[in-house]
Structure 1
Amino acid sequence: MTDEYILLVCDHVPHDVVLIDPGARSLDVAQVVRRLTGLSLWRSKVLAAQIPAVILDGVPQEDAEAAVTALRDVGAQAEVREQPEPDFLRP
């Protein structure tokens, strides 16, 4: 019996939302992080204090951009980063 591997190619490239600086309104940023992640307020506050922090991991680009906009609206600095291609896909 031989093993066969199938590589699925799709247009969906996962993105990460990275919080770079929470700014002066850290409690407001923690509340946005809570809404985005579903974490408790305490855990969201801890996550927002650990800079740089990946808030969302492997989400579609539209969702990542909406999350960055929500974080920037409360005074935080955040960015969308495209996840790197896995090593096994590289020649």
Structure 2
Amino acid sequence: MAAGYFLLVCDDVPYDVVLTDPGARVLDVAQAVRRLTGLSLWRSKVLATRVPALILDGVPQEDATAAVLALRDAGAQAEAGQRSGDA
């Protein structure tokens, strides 16, 4: 019998948050990235300037939505998408 992974209805599908454009307020975006990831301010600024950048990896939908809103409030363009099913 072949072993396989089946996505059940009760499974939470992980989401990824991608920063697509830091906008004009790069330092504000870097501070938002720092709050979301826990990285240092320097590393957050480097991550914010290298777009597209994966900010959060495999988080629940609620956390991904909150992160996108925080980044957009800081002046960036970000999007949350479902992770591809290559588990």
**Same fold (TM > 0.5):** yes
Give the equivalent residue in structure 1 for 2:32.
Answer: 32
Q: TM-score, normalised by structure 2?
A: 0.89
Post-superposition Cα deviations, 1:62-89, rounded to whole Å, max 9, x if no partner, equal 0000000000001100000110001x7x
Separation in structure 1 between the aligned mates of residue 74 and residue 83 of structure 2, nearest angstrom: 25
Deviation at 1:8, TM superposition (A): 6.1
Cα offsets for 1:31-74 (capped at 9, x unmatched): 00000000000000000000000000000000000000000001
Matched to 1:62, the amino acid is E
Q: Percent identity?
A: 68
Instruction: Give 4+ residue runs of structure 1 displaced > 6 Å after superposition.
Output: none
Unpaired stretches in structure 1, ≥5 consecutive residues: none
Q: CA deviation at 1:6?
A: 6.5
The runs of 5 or more residues in structure 2 that have no matched partner are none
Match of 2:68 in 1: 68
Max Rg structure: 1
Q: Secondary structure at the match of 2:75?
A: coil
- In the alignment, the residues of structure 2 paired with residue 8 and residue 84 of structure 1 have an alpha-carbon distance, to the nearest angstrom, of 14
CA distance in 1, matches of 2:3, 2:16: 27
Instruction: Note the 1:39-58 alignment, pairs <5 A.
Output: 39-58=39-58
Q: Secondary structure at the match of 1:39?
A: coil
Q: Could you say which residue in structure 1 is the equivalent of 2:17?
A: 17
Q: 1:15 Cα shift? A: 0.4
